[in-house]
Amino acid sequence: MYLSVAGSADRVHGTVQVPNSKYHAHRALILASLAPGTSRITGLSDARHVQYTVGVLRALGITVEVDGDTAVVHGGRYRPHRDHINVGSSGTTLYFMVGLAALADRDLLITGQKYFDHRPIGPLLRALGEIGVDASSPTDCPPIQVRHGRPTGGTVHIAGTLSQWISALLLIAPFATAPTSVIVDGPFNERSYVELTVRMMAQFGLEVVASPDGRRYDIAPHQWAHPADLHLPPDIGSAAFGLAVAGIRPADVLLTGLASIDPADIDHPEAEFLRIVHEMGLPMAVDAAAGGVRITHDGRRLQAVEVDCRDVPDMLPVLSTMAALAEGESVFHHVEHVRLKESDRVHAMLQLNEMGGRLDFDGTDLRIQGVERLHGAHLSSFNDHRVLMSLAVAASAASGRSTLTFPTAYRISYPQFLDAMGELHVDMQVEQGPARPTARRLPPVGTAAAAGQVTGAEWIRRWAKERPHSLALVDAAPERTTRMTWAELDRAVDKAAALLLDFGVAAGDRVAVQLPNCSGFVVISAAAARIGAVICPIMPIFRQREVAVALKRSHAKVVVVADNFRGRQHDAELAEILDDPAEAELAVETVLVLHLTPGVAHILPSCANPDVAWHAWHRAAAWAQVDRAALDARAPKPQDPAQLLFTSGTSGEPKGVIHRHESLSRAAWMEIEQLPLNSTDAVYVPSPLAHQTGFLYGMWLAWVLGVPQIVQRTWNPTQALEVLNEWEGTFVQAATPFLTDLVREVEAGAPAPHALRIFVATGAAVPRALAERATRVLGATVCGAFGTTETGLAALGSPADPASKAWGTDGRALRGVQLRIVDDDGRRSPDGVEGNFELTGPTVFDGYLERPDLTAEAFTADGWYRTGDLATIDDGYLRITGRVRDVINRGGEKVPVSEIEQLLYRHDAVGDVAIVAMPDPRLGERACAFVVLEPGRTLTFTQMQRYLDDAKVSKSYWPERLELVDSLPRNAVGKVQKFVLREQAAGLTPQRLAAVPHTDREETLDDEHPDNARWTRKPHRRA
């Protein structure tokens, strides 16, 4: 198990009850056990350490009745039933009871949890020996053998290292047969804890006379404790975590049970903490009416502070967290004894450096230079309750996700910690499995066919039930990042589904969505799926003409648009469409506007069409009432349509493709199986959710797998690497430009994405040189793949493949898919021979929306889908060689376009390249290379010729024109729109092939020869 914490800069808000003091509880219980008679203690903490003390007292024969937060203790002689007692993991119980065990009527062995075997208490054992208590251990560590018998008293010296050692001597001294004097030597740490012991002893009738400097304590012998009734005060040590999280994030937090923020008014050894955080600028105020202390601010930074840790040693971990995000340098003096606690807490908190903190320890002082933000990390709590809680608070304000080992250690001292953080809307929960998971498992569906029987929203229901608090969605917008758990996502989907029902959406109705990658897209898509509606994504880059076509063809009744995205008013553009009389046949009845710009007031656009109702999404959703049974009654069947997607239009007018729930879930599972992916992955989604790559192999894939999806709103490689590292993205499927940008960013000095393990390159053939380079630079496996909107993925590489196959081909057929290469007459081609690529499988669509003519063209007589690509299959691996429409027929000779593009891409001056045909009156077509140069590089037509000549490429394949361009036209998912380039090339003419040196002669292409195969050779003249 591990504690998972999702960081955020959002406001923490809520009310938390501060529990009662465990320091008082230990002492009150022990003192009551020594007092013959009945004592009543109310406000008892349920911390596990306190439970260990109760258990030890019961083992000693003391009756302790606990009812809620009240303990009734019947004190008297210690009469243990066994010869050993176990103090569990409570250091306080161990130290206090080592001496007091001598008051039992038999010898005892004191043990604890296994790691106590390494906790040195030699100085305490020797001091007890000086006053006549026979407590010994050959290792100076537990187990401890204690012989029964009252102490003899005397003068004893003890180091002031730990207050618990001094308190242990004070607690046993009144029962000695002679006076006892306890003298503290050396540095005196934690004096306030000793003073608490003295005050509480007095409440039970035991007298201790302390010197003014607290260095000497005189205790009379033969004392008897008297019963007492106590109500325990609030625990500042627990309140500290609520105060800390309210200090490092914007806050509106009420901590009830605290009546003052003045340390002088509070009976607690850690009350000084309140003065320190006040000095740091924490805006605390007593709210008498609410019965607590309130912290309210909009994000002010705390200030650095200087602290003497001898006063508040247990507060070092939580103060370190606050100081890590404070302005300036904080210094913590005298921290040596803090290293003797449950763990070496100084070095444990140095883990803040792994989160981007700036901590330095010189052996005496801990110095912390505050930073503006931390980032997520995998951390160890060392099974130390205060370290766990302090680092968890730090992680709650970090960017990204953090994990911590020993996630239940908080129960030792603050059992309500996790609930309290939940009340303050801090996202942390205990997860199953190791913090750095290595065990990889798949969801329990078994096969692709079984996965196909689960509809889209059913996946969310499943994970909300099985792992409600696990991270489901990260929305990485440029200005802020938000996240949702599976339970939160499920509730949001219910709310959105109820809203769609309110607007009359029925099963089979189309809901059009023109949104960028954001949580709203995910929620609305799942909401449509939940009630059997069909989601119709529209690319955010589409303008009025394309949007109008999509709305007309889809017959969408409800449209959801953004108010403003990348400088465009999508809602205003939609209003323009709906006001156009030429679009009167549109079926749109309701428009919902999703507000994407925080802090900017939004006014719905003016629309004159009286038949369309406009609503702001957040307002409409606020009054939607969820009827869970009504939603579940509308759940679709796996065979029902789920998605209407328009093809990306790289070669002409977009066509409508409908996919069913079963084909989408099955397609996702087939990829999961092939790679394979597993429950430890996190799916990063930079590709548009409105395109099949982002929709199916981002969002839907994460639903099926039950893992987080990390959606990035606008593409920015710098932010992409930050997001990948902060949220530990392990898998991404995207087009070549995304891969290129990530590689360049890392090569420029940005940190590589440390968790990324698989990048599936789709949309267009990935240049092999880029794939090899990316594998080295990103440290991830790059896999080639082939898929279409109509079919989903058909072929895919795998990390298990040889590298040259994983990224050097377009992969192997997924399970259930069949691939074939045929010639122009439909006959199968032998292995390795180029031909027309066709496929069939369980995820192929049924046909184009309202276009039976195009559907008929897309399928062969025996039902195979014509991809329109040229390819070869060799040893089961597919290699796309070009599009049928991209073939350049140069006087009867077909130019291998893909091969020449791959070769040119390897030139160090070439950043991107595409080759298309130029019409030619005599040869029919010639090749034109459109090239994007690398920054600062040059390439001439002659240099290109020489490069190809050095590569020994047949001159009939050489491009006969070089066009340098700033960028290649691509659609939103990275596919090169070659039809655009062909239009540009239509007016171009060939450049003359210059003489190119080759061995000892020059060659030029004889364009006069009709078959273009004869070469004239001229003697090479050397300079």
The pLDDT of residue 340 is 61
* Beta-carbon count within 10 A of 189 CB: 25
Residue among 390, 336, 383 nearest 118 (CA)? 383
Q: Span 22-231: which CATH code? A: 3.65.10.10
Give the 3-state secondary structure of 138-175. Answer: CCCCCCEEECCCCCCCEEEEEECCCHHHHHHHHHHHHH
* Beta-carbon count within 10 A of 622 CB: 10
Q: What are phi and psi of 916, to 5 degrees?
A: -135, 170
Fold of 455-472+484-662: Rossmann fold (3.40.50)
Are the beta carbons of 621 and 500 closer than 8 angstroms? no
**Bridge partners, residue 997, by sequence:** 1002
Give the 3-state secondary structure of 721-756. Answer: HHHHHHCCCCEEEEEHHHHHHHHHHHHCCCCCCCCC
Comparing 2-13+234-431 with 22-231, is the CATH topology the same?
yes
Q: Give residues with Cβ within 8 angstroms of 384, minimum separation 6.
A: 341, 342, 343, 345, 348, 406, 409
Are the beta carbons of 415 and 238 closer than 8 angstroms? no
Do you know the residue count of the chain? 1023
Chain-centre distance of CA 444, in angstroms?
Answer: 23
CA distances from 363 to 118, 189, 329, 429, 663 (A): 22, 17, 17, 34, 62
CA distances from 793 to 171, 643, 692, 811 (A): 74, 16, 10, 10
Strands 70-75 vs 63-67: parallel, antiparallel or unpaired: antiparallel
**Bridge partners, residue 306, by sequence:** 331
The pLDDT of residue 713 is 93
Q: Which two tokens mark 373?
A: 């933000």
- Secondary structure letter of residue 582 according to DSSP: G
Q: What are phi and psi of 278, to 5 degrees?
A: -65, -40
Q: How many helices (H) and strands (E) does the chain have?
A: 31, 52
Residue among 326, 436, 349, 350 nearest 4 (CA)? 436
3-class secondary structure, 798: coil
Q: Where are the alpha helices (DSSP H) in 799-955?
A: 803-806, 852-858, 897-905, 941-950
**Would you kindly state where each structural domain of the chain is located, as residue ranges?**
2-13+234-431, 22-231, 455-472+484-662, 887-1017
d(CA 890, CA 111): 89
User: Residue 1008, class by beta-carbon neighbours within 10 Å (0-12 exposed, 13-18 middle, 19+ buried)?
Assistant: exposed
Buried (b) or exposed (e) across 261-291, using 16+ Cβ within 10 A?
A: bebeebebbbbbbbbbbeebbbebeeeeeee
Chain-centre distance of CA 92, in angstroms?
Answer: 38
Residue among 519, 462, 526 nearest 499 (CA)? 526
Fold of 887-1017: GMP Synthetase; Chain A, domain 3 (3.30.300)
- Containing H/E element for 12? strand 12-17
The pLDDT of residue 444 is 59
Output the CA angle 271-158-31, nearest 5 degrees. 55
The pLDDT of residue 163 is 86
Selected from 3.40.50.300, 3.65.10.10, 2.40.50.100, 3.40.50.2000, the CATH number assigned to the domain covering 2-13+234-431 reads: 3.65.10.10
Q: Give residues with Cβ within 8 angstroms of 389, minimum separation 6.
A: 241, 317, 318, 410, 414, 417
Sign, CA dihedral 453-457-458-464, equals positive
d(CA 63, CA 59): 9
3-class secondary structure, 524: helix
3-class secondary structure, 962: strand
Q: What are phi and psi of 975, to 5 degrees?
A: -75, 135
Chain-centre distance of CA 312, in angstroms?
Answer: 34
* Beta-carbon count within 10 A of 828 CB: 11
Are the beta carbons of 736 and 763 closer than 8 angstroms? yes
Q: Give residues with Cβ within 8 angstroms of 911, minimum separation 6.
A: 740, 931, 932, 933, 934, 935
The ranges of the chain with pLDDT < 70 are 115, 337-342, 433-446, 598-601, 648-653, 763-765, 891-893, 922, 972-973, 993-1023
d(CA 299, CA 12): 10
3-class secondary structure, 717: helix
Q: Which of 105, 140, 235, 314 is catalytic?
A: 314
Binding residues: 22, 27, 91, 119, 163-164, 314, 341, 345, 386
Amino acid (one-letter) located at 814: L
Q: What is the pLDDT of residues 613-672, one digit of tens each?
A: 999 998 888 888 999 999 999 999 999 999 999 885 544 567 899 999 999 999 999 999
3-class secondary structure, 821: strand
The pLDDT of residue 443 is 58
Binding residues for 3-phosphoshikimate: 22, 27, 163-164, 314, 341
pTM of the model: 0.68
The pLDDT of residue 952 is 78
Angle between helices 486-502 and 519-530 (to 10 degrees): 60
Cis peptide before 540 (omega within 30 of 0): no
3-class secondary structure, 693: helix
The pLDDT of residue 672 is 95
Cis peptide before 233 (omega within 30 of 0): no
**314 among known catalytic residues:** yes
Q: Give residues with Cβ within 8 angstroms of 806, minimum separation 6.
A: 781, 782, 783, 784, 797, 798, 799
Sign, CA dihedral 559-562-567-572, equals positive
- How many Cα atoms within 13 Å fall on the side-chain side of residue 312? 23
* Beta-carbon count within 10 A of 143 CB: 15
d(CA 507, CA 281): 56
